[in-house]
Structure 1
Amino acid sequence: MSEKKPILLLVDGSSYLYRAYHALPDLRGPEGVPTGALHGMVAMMKKLREQVGAAHAVCVFDAKGKTFRDDWYPEYKAQRAPMPDALREQIEPIHEVVRLLGWPILEVPGIEADDAIGTLARVAAQAGHQVVVSTGDKDMAQLVTEDVTLMNTMSNETLDIAGVTAKFGVPPDRIIDYLTLMGDTVDNVPGVEKVGPKTAAKWIAEHGSLDGVIANADKVKGVAGENLRKALDWLPMGRKLVTIRCDCDLAGHIEAWPALDALALKAVDTDGLRDFYARYGFKTWLKELSVKAPEPVNEDMFTDAPVPEAVDVERRYDTILTWEHFDVWLDRLQQSELSALDTETDSLEPMLAQIVGISFSVQAGEAAYIPLRHNGPDAPEQLPIDEVLAKLKPWLEDASKPKLGQNLKYDTHVFANHGIALRGIQHDTMLQSYVLDSSKNHGLGALGERNLGRAGVSYEDLCGKGAHQIPFAQVDVEKASHYSAEDSDMCLQVHQILWPKIEAAPGLLKIYRDVEMPVSDLLARIERNGVLIDGALLQAQSHELAQRLVAIEQEAYAIAGQPFNMGSPKQLGEILFDKLGLPTIKKTATGARSTDEEVLAKLAEDFPLPAKILEHRGLAKLKSTYTDKLPLQVNKATGRVHTNYAQAVAVTGRLSSNDPNLQNIPIRTAEGRRVREAFVAPAGFTLVSADYSQIELRLMAHISEDPGMLKAFGENLDIHRATASEVFNVPLAEVSAEHRRYAKTINFGLIYGMGAFGLASSLGIEQKAAKDYIDRYFTRFAGVRDYMERTKVFARENGYVETLFGRRIWLPEINGGNGPRKAGAERQAINAPMQGTASDLIKLAMIAVQQALDAQGKATRIIMQVHDELVFEVPEAELDWVKAEVPRLMAGVAQLKVPLLAEVGVGANWDEAH
């Protein structure tokens, strides 16, 4: 056994505080101060101190101000966004608590934390220390030697020389060359255009080094070679910028430098921590201090190895290539209380995707992959897909066998494409994450990183990107097996962390169990139903739109006095502002005069050309997005269009539609309504549209309990006429059309948090008049004003607002950010409970209606969900039932203090029915 070296632990504090800030929700302390990054840093520093037996350590942060790299290259980090206010508030307390935990802190003006770490690592290694650098920054891989190892606590990854070589494809002493070729978009350091990790590693392997690549630049073929030759003059500066300096003078910053005695870990300041944890609301850690003394540093935790194995569940992933192995796993699935599964396919389009392989996990750390259609050059003989699916089908279709997955709606389609009805779906980690905090990224990689400290192998890592991406069927089976099995395993482990959190919150449990999970199953049915369109009608509309666009162009040229490219902001700006002398409304980030839609709308109030441009843009978008594209999106097998409903995107709980987006077809224009005419019923059927009447205003009345609103809805009055009567102080019978229009704008504007400026713009009136209207409104409807104030206070204290059914909508900017961002968060806080409750209601309505259809064996099918509207394809024989029962079912999903009203329309096409 070799002699044990003392360990120096270097922590890249700046890297981790950013990652902690973005990984955790917008946590708040007792005084409302942000604590998310603070919480993450404390957890990491505590874990590191317990894991790594180091007597010497330091947490290194970037100092304020410029560094020598800014002098070399003024554009260095120029594109990096400023530090968020909510993070900036946490820097000082982070420094405070790191010191209380016994860590020395180092900040050196004029250099980056990387350079300080690099210098310390070199000096410590020369002095006989084993160095562990804790970081998430890939640039640090250049520091790795026999004596320097990287450790990433957030991904549980440890990198020595072999680890760096395996991960990046180049050894540590070539990482600088590798980074130079790729560049660094985060730090605004250009590399060779379109050169990524694989190309950089390949060139270095072929030519030995960056210098070798440069020397052979004329031999590199194709576009890559051209880009390399264009970058030759820049590459020396690029190499200089990405190189971590290891020779910085730290005298004056570390006592008795270059001795390392000043970096000895100190005892934890228990009394100071107790006060700190109480101040920032860290109750669990506060409780720990009263029952558990901090453990002393123990260097005996290490033997020969410089770094312990990352804390992680031991993993064993099987590749199933024989029937004997298959039978073992099928038996495990049959006996399992909960099985995670994942399909690997040949397409991202759910209705077209065919299975390439399937993975399962029944226990954390254990998973298996069945390759079925891999056809790469070294692919082994695989079990026949038809026989495998036939043997799996009874288990897959058994509703009594609980199943778990990540976005199982997609897998439901995939199995359906193979004639299998997936049943027994009990949990979905994407939806668990969405219910817990809808503002987060709900991809499995993000869930793994947030909850397990590791993101796993990405699809791009496996298959490549862009034009060079290979089909999954061509991926090496061993690599594919690890990738897919890891997904199922991670899904199971993430579930084990998220599910208890949902169970502990009754409101979230109801949303997850009674709303999101059954809706996911229903959406798969709606998507497979699809909708019939009249392609010939759309083609005729496209032709008419094309003629109209040409006519508008000619009208615009006549106004401008010359032809110009209507799609060119530069040419449009020259025509509007230079030639016609129209006023500049605002400028872009680069200083150019803006010609965006907001600017054109403002100019169109007084000038004809901007109005023509807006009309042209609207019709061109309608043509390209719908009348041209929809006929091309008809599924050849079904003859129908099948949208995809994204369930975990909108923070309020609303569904979104894509490929094609059926929710954004304009309804306020004649041309948009004509597109809806092309959504038709097949022979023997009719379309029925059912939607909630003024749902958000009814919810405002219920939530605010304003007597005036409750009375208006209770007496079934026209709410806008009732509002006009109050605001303009005229009898109900004398409310004019103009009064009602103003009142409607006020009603809907105020529930979206609109202020006097917004109302004035919407109504085209002076801001003072708009303020008078708002003041009069809140005098007559004081309950609404009180609700708004209560809601803002609740949001500031809790960081979120809730729907009537318990859905939480987090508002990260409510206590941070600048004035406009905070004001935007307050407007969102006012509206989100209404919009979120409306989304809950339409989902509950979908479930209730579908349950009734199934119970009574009806042939009526839901074919679309658009905001507060459901669209049905109804056989003629069931029309009366649908017209009577659907509104009753929709109105019965909740009991409000005002009537919940659903209305139906009937027609041969969607426009007629709506």
Structure 2
Amino acid sequence: MTESPPTLLLVDGSSYLYRAFHAMPDLRAVPGDPSSPATGALRGLINMAQALLREHPAQSAAFVFDAPGPTFRDALYPAYKAQRSPMPDDLRAQIEPIHTVLRLLGWPVLCVPGVEADDVLGTLAQRAAAAGVQVVISSGDKDMSQLVGPRVMVIDTMSGKRRDVAGVQAEFGVLPQQMVDYQCLVGDTVDNVPGVEKVGPKTAVKWLLEYGSLEAIVAHAEQMPGAVGAKLRAALDWLPTARQLLRIKTDCDLSAHLSAPDVQQALRLQAPDRAALRDFYQRYGFKTLVRALEEGGAADGAQREAGAKPGGWARRGEGAKLAGVEAASAAPADQASMFDIAGPDAASASAQAAEAESAHAPTPPPRHYQTVLTWEALHAWLPRLQAAPLVALDTETTGLDPMRAEIVGLSWSLEAGAAAYLPLAHDYPGAPEQLPRAAALECLRPWLENPAAAKLGQHLKYERHVFANHGIELRGLEHDTLLQSYVLEAHLPHSLESLAERHLGQRGLSYAELCGKGAQQIPFAQVDIERASTYACEDSDFTLQVHQRLWPRLQAEAPLRAVYGLEIACSEVLYRIERHGVLIDAATLARQSHELGLRLVELEARAHALAGQPFNLASPKQLGEILYDRLGLPVLKKTATGARSTDEEVLEKLAEDYPLPAQILQHRSLAKLKGTYTDKLAALAHPRTGRVHTHYAQAVAVTGRLSSNEPNLQNIPIRTPEGRRVREAFVAAPGHLIASADYSQIELRIMAHLSDDPALLRAFHDGLDVHRATAAEVFGLAPEQVSAEQRRYAKTINFGLIYGMSSFGLAKALGIDTGAARNYIERYFERFAGVRRYMDATRAEAKARCCVHTVLGRRLHLPEINSPNAARRAAAERAAINAPMQGTAADLIKLSMVAVQQALDAQGRASRMIMQVHDELVFELPAAEQDWLRTEVPRLMAGVAALKVPLLAEVGFGANWEQAH
């Protein structure tokens, strides 16, 4: 047997630094104390380093960081990287401890003055490869592609990319040795290195494929036709400098930084210094790491700190289900870490349980996976499936669309470490014979449709649709790990790969490893059955094991257990809403698109007249030249690259004084409406049903709100007449009506309940116009004396304060000066002192606990509430006020959906719930059930919870959605 070559693992530490820092919440050595040392980047980088070494075992490795001070490139081109912001102080303070802990963990660390980390990596990689060593470079920087060769591969742990020679060519269209030439042509905006103007990737690849090198392209510059040829000739003097800036050096003098000439020997990994590590972890408050060291886990403890997932990055793509659907639930950067490391959440019993759980991650059970290819094997499984108390079930399918996806195979697991895969539609040369899909599903139908046979899944709503596409009604849906994770830790990712790594310390095959990526990706049906079986069995096995970890935590907390029960019940209702869909009137949309097109032409002509010349309204560059050069309008803001901004915020401000920006804004609004809705909605209708079947995602918004896509019903711009008209295309079938049932001022009612403010409670109990009542209090008038303008002011204040609006924001919304807005806010709080007390108390609680709760007990995490970054902290403080109201509103509408659906089923009604949008439920109903729905649905919606103020729902009817309002 040929011995495999040794491996050298090189890490672009400077890239890792920023990734860890910007992904992590504001963690501190003393949780909640902003004066104690920041530890977010430190904690994240420890996790990444250890995970990387497990993924790519090596005896020699190194972290390479940029050294402080200028490099030869700065002397060559003073504008090099000049646009970059200075390193944040909190990150700068963590660099030295990061270097220290890496050395304590046994990693060599290199910082070489005068050159960049890239150059050191390039030099090490070339020397090692020349000595017959296999080199793996971990970096997200595309520049590293220059170094790729037969013995050098670059991996990007965040995206999962593996750039070998074929990978570079597939991604960029050129060979690794052509990457410098490619970059010289297109430039590098990240490093502020210009390329050839008007030359993009397509042109660069075309030229390099034709001529082979930059030198050859330059030699033919005089023959290059057109404007792009002229731009090339204009750049000839610059290109040698660009090459010096962009080429990674591979000949750095490292003699002072390596202990031996042999790179492999000089960069040997050492054993961790356990005693010093223990002191280090204690100094920075890493209690779980200390505990892991004491238990003998010097390396693995790093990944368990604060609920970290051991892998450090996602691997499993969930290709047939979660990519682009619930996998979109990866939390926003200000709410969660891309490394899945939770914030401190000091007083949260659940978060503490999660940390303890991660610190004692179980040893993975032995695997026993089976591929079911015969009737004998399948029949042997049937009694076991029927008798099992709970079975994890998973499908592999032909695509992501739940209404169109077909089953390629399905897997199940009854106990941890054991699973089976039943392939049914794999089709490739040499594929083994499989059971006929229709016959096999028919054999499984009694178990699949048995409501007493309890089933578990990851995103079961999708599985229900897929089985329904084959005529099977999947029943007995007991648990969903996607929803369990969402209820316990809404601010973290919920894809199966994240859950398995976070809670089990296990990783499996990724979808990309099976099927490839991009243009090279193959359908799952063409995947080799043996590998597909491992992947599918891992899906069901991991789902069962994750459930065994999460379900006890939910059982231990009654409020969260109740929220989880609500999510499970809501998933049932959403499945039915999605399955039924809503009828779309294509003719109405076509007419609206035509009218919008005429309006856009008219607006464009007006804009040209105001500008005094034609220009492309969609071009920021041309618009900037018109606004600032030709018309001389004031420059209010610049982009990160120094260009004069023409974004919406700038145009709105300019539109207050100048007509052209107002025309541009109106044009943009109508163009977006046309492109997003009137042009596309009809095309989204299913060919079989003629209806649009939007997908509702439960595990996306951290507040509990539902989101929808294909189409996104939440974002239809109803504040404009044109936007509201889009709802005219959502129509009822012949003989039916559309009904809209909407909660009235739900978040203000929740504010009254939470704040216990006497004036607000009285307004709602007495059935007053709350905005008029607020205006009367603020302006010191009798309600009947309040003007329409004063009521508008009060309405803006009421809703603005819920969303944390400042005096500046209120001034902008009302068109008044900041002093007047500040006076209005102060007067409001004088009259509604309970609201101020609630806000102050909620902020204090959030700072102490790093979370807030809805009325029903849903936990809303706020990891940035104590951040030293003022912008992040302020955003978290606003969220602390708003999240309990928005989250409670989300809980109430979900309770309403469940209550109404139960009533429809119990009474055998023909009315169907067809949409849920914000605080509104939309129905399609026979005309004969109009009276019932008018009475019963508002009653049911008002009765789902007993607040200190009455809940009120109003219902309207019409031939289409807009008429029902």
Specify the TM-score bucket, using the shorter chain as the normaliser. 0.7 to 0.9
Q: Could you list the per-position Cα deviations for residues 622-673 of structure 1 after superposition, in whole angstroms to 9, with x for gaps in the alignment?
A: 2333233222222221122211112222232211121112222232222222
Alignment partner, residue 735 of structure 1: 786
Instruction: Please state how far the C-alpha of 1:377 moved relative to its aligned partner.
Output: 3.3
Question: Structure 1 residue 743: deviation in Å?
Answer: 0.7
Aligned residue number for residue 278 of structure 2:
273
Q: 1:84 to 1:453 in 2, by over 3 A?
A: farther
Looking at structure 2, the residues matched to 318 and 194 of structure 1 have their Cα atoms a distance apart, in angstroms, of 47
| TM-superposed deviation, 1:12 | 7.2
8 Å Cα contact 1:154-1:453 kept in structure 2: no
1:145-156 equivalences under 5 Å are none
**Pairing of 1:324-339 with structure 2 (within 5 A):** 324-339=376-391
Q: How many Å apart are 1:781 and its aligned residue?
A: 1.9
Match of 2:951 among 897, 900, 907: 900
Give 1:522-601 correspondences, 5 Å limit: 522-601=573-652
Deviation at residue 354 of structure 1 after TM alignment: 1.8
* Partners of 2:705 and 2:890 within 8 A in 1: yes
Contact 1:802 1:808 in 2 (8 A): yes
Matches within 5 A, 1:299-318: 315=367, 317-318=369-370
Letter in 1 for 2:471: G
Greater displacement, 687-696 / 545-554: 545-554
Partner of 2:482: 430
Partner of 2:755: 704
Could you tell me which residue of structure 1 aligns to residue 30 of structure 2? 30
Structure 2 equivalent of residue 251 of structure 1: 256
Tell me the TM-score normalized by structure 2: 0.76
Give the C-alpha shift of residue 405 in structure 1: 2.7
Distance 1:65 1:239, change over 3 A: closer
Instruction: Give the structure 2 partner of residue 393 of structure 1.
Output: 445
Residues 584 and 692 of structure 2 are in contact (CA less than 8 Å); yes or no, is this contact kept in structure 1?
Answer: yes
Task: Sort the Cα spacing of 1:482 and 1:422 in 2 relative to 1 into closer, same or farther, 3 A.
Answer: same
* Structure 2 equivalent of residue 304 of structure 1: none
Residues 430-509 of structure 1: matches in 2 within 5 Å?
430-451=482-503, 456-509=508-561
**Alpha-carbon deviation of 1:58?**
7.6
Q: Distance in 1 between matches of 2:374 and 2:83?
A: 54
Q: Which residue of 1 aligns with 2:428?
A: 376
Is this contact kept in 2: 1:528–1:642, CA < 8 A? yes
Q: Confirm or deny that 1:619 pairs with 2:619.
A: no
Question: In the alignment, which residue of structure 1 is the partner of 2:937?
Answer: 886
Measured after TM superposition, the shift of residue 526 of structure 1 is 0.4
Could you tell me which amino acid in structure 1 is paired with residue 587 of structure 2? A
- Alignment-mate amino acid for residue 30 of structure 1: V
Q: Is the 8 A contact 1:85 1:817 kept in 2?
A: no
Secondary structure class of the residue paired with 1:600: helix
Report which stretch shifted further, 522-531 or 497-506. 497-506
Give the conservation status (yes or no) of the 8 Å contact 1:155–1:454.
Answer: no
Under a length normalisation based on structure 1, what TM-score does the superposition of the two structures give?
0.80
Does residue 320 of the first structure (1) align with residue 326 of the second (2)?
no
Worse overlay, 233-242 or 745-754: 233-242
User: CA, structure 1 residues 396+74, in 2 after alignment: closer, same or farther (shift >3 Å)?
Assistant: farther
1:795 and 1:829 in contact (8 A); partners too:
yes
Partner Cα separation in structure 2 for residue 575 and residue 479 of structure 1: 59
Greater alpha carbon shift after TM alignment, 552-561 vs 864-873: 552-561
Contact 2:431 2:528 in 1 (8 A): yes
Tell me if the contact between 1:118 and 1:143 (Cα under 8 Å) persists in the aligned partners: no
Please tell me the residue identity of whatever aligns with 2:834: G
- Residue from 725, 731, 751 that aligns with 1:674: 725
Counterpart in 2 of 1:510? 562
Question: Mean alpha-carbon deviation: is it higher for 179-188 or for 871-880?
Answer: 179-188
> Does the residue aligned with 2:921 lie in a helix, a strand or coil?
strand
- Per the alignment, residue 648 of structure 1 pairs with 699
Q: 1:565 to 1:175 in 2, by over 3 A?
A: closer
Unmatched runs of 5 consecutive residues or more in structure 2:
221-227, 300-361
Of 756, 762, 768, 2:807 maps to 756
Q: Are residues 243 and 477 of structure 1, via their aligned partners in 2, closer, same or farther at CA, if it must alter by over 3 Å?
A: farther
Q: Is residue 80–residue 186 contact of structure 1 (8 Å, CA) maintained in 2?
A: no
Gaps of 5+ in 1: 205-209, 219-225, 296-309
Q: What's the counterpart of residue 773 of structure 2?
A: 722
Task: Name the residue aligned to 1:863.
Answer: 914
In structure 2, the residue matched to 1:300 is none
Question: Alignment identity in percent?
Answer: 59
* Corresponding residue of 2:871: 820
Q: 2:26–2:866: 8 Å Cα contact kept in structure 1? A: no
Mapped partners of 1:261, 1:560: distance in 2: 64
Partner of 2:464: 412
Deviation of 1:67 after TM superposition, in Å, equals 4.9
Instruction: Assess, with a 3 A threshold, how the Cα gap between structure 1 residues 577 and 548 changes in structure 2: closer, same or farther.
Output: same
Q: CA RMSD in A?
A: 5.1
Looking at structure 2, the residues matched to 848 and 14 of structure 1 have their Cα atoms a distance apart, in angstroms, of 54
Q: What is the Cα deviation at residue 766 of structure 1?
A: 1.0
Aligned to 1:298: none
Distance 1:92 1:426, change over 3 A: farther
* Deviation (angstroms), 1:558: 3.8
Deviates more, 1:604-613 or 1:105-114: 105-114
Q: CA separation of 1:502/1:251 partners in 2, compared to 1, >3 Å: closer, same or farther?
A: farther
Q: State which of 677, 682, 687 in structure 2 corresponds to 1:631.
A: 682
Please state how far the C-alpha of 1:507 moved relative to its aligned partner: 3.8
Deviation per CA, 1:60-92: give whole Å up to 9, x if none.
Answer: 655444556777898988898876776555445
What amino acid is the match of 2:775? Answer: A
Q: Tell me, yes or no, if the aligned pair for 1:15 and 1:135 is still in contact at 8 Å.
A: no
Relative distance call for 1:264 and 1:116 in structure 2 (3 A) is: farther
SS in 2 for 1:269: helix
Q: CA deviation at 1:903?
A: 1.7
What number of residue pairs does the alignment pair up?
Answer: 868
Do 1:101 and 1:269's aligned partners in 2 also have CA atoms closer than 8 Å?
no
Q: Which moved more, 1:474-483 or 1:244-253?
A: 244-253
**Structure 1 position 340, deviation (Å):** 3.0
